């Protein structure tokens, strides 16, 4: 049991680091993906909403990541009800995000573009992996 808890703690730390990385990358998506022309064509309100959402998603991911780093050991043991609720909530966040990666985005975004398709699969794996790690931490007893 202790080995499983230690492995889960390591997986939670990896998920936390991944979330922090996604939070930082999220702030530079416009530049990384060359979206400035599209943003410039948006109405000022839509452009502002996009930027506010970008920052708030990054803030949420930093909160998830920092809380997980700080309390990975406690979350891995599953001894705290608040911790179990927190990790299940984070699991739901990432699980829904993984489903949205497939259910919402059009295949036209990456059809015939191997680089974008690879990123699509990598992101699906990261989102789904975070969901599974956090869900396991929340439901194991």
How many CB atoms neighbour CB 1 within 10 A? 7
Is 113 strand, coil or helix?
coil
Q: What's the pLDDT at 25? A: 93
On whether the CB atoms of residues 75 and 68 are closer than 8 A, the answer is yes
Report yes or no: 101 and 124 within 8 Å, Cβ to Cβ: yes
> What pLDDT score was predicted for residue 131?
98
Q: What angle do CA 64, 118, 136 make, to 5 degrees?
A: 35
Q: What is the pLDDT of residue 108?
A: 87
Which pTM value belongs to this model?
Answer: 0.90
Note the pLDDT of residue 1.
Answer: 67
Each of the 141 residues of the chain gets a pLDDT tens digit; together they read 688 899 999 999 999 999 999 999 999 989 988 889 999 999 999 999 999 999 999 999 999 999 999 999 999 999 999 999 999 999 999 999 999 998 998 888 888 889 888 888 998 999 999 999 999 999 985
Q: Are 8 and 137 in contact (CB under 8 A)?
A: yes
Distance CA 76, CA 37 (A): 45
Distance CA(106)–CA(4), nearest Å, equals: 39
CB-based contacts of 57: which residues, under 8 Å, 6+ apart?
23, 26
Taking the CA atoms of residue 135, residue 72, residue 128 and residue 126 in that order, the dihedral angle to the nearest 10 degrees is: 180
First CA to last CA across the chain, in angstroms?
A: 10
């Amino acid at each position: 049991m202790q080995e499983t808890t230690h492995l889960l703690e390591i997986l939670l730390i990896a998920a936390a680091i991944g979330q922090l990385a996604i939070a930082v990358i999220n702030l530079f998506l416009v530049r990384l993906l060359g979206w400035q022309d599209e943003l410039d064509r948006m109405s000022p309100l839509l452009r502002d909403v996009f930027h506010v959402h970008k920052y708030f998603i990054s803030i949420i991911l930093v909160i998830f990541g920092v809380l997980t780093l700080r309390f990975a050991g406690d979350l891995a043991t599953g001894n705290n009800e608040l911790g179990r609720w927190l990790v299940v909530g984070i699991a739901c966040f990432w699980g829904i995000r993984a489903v949205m990666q497939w259910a919402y985005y059009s295949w036209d975004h990456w059809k015939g573009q191997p680089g974008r398709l690879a990123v699509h699969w990598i992101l699906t794996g990261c989102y789904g992996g975070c969901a599974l790690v956090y869900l396991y931490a929340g439901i194991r007893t």
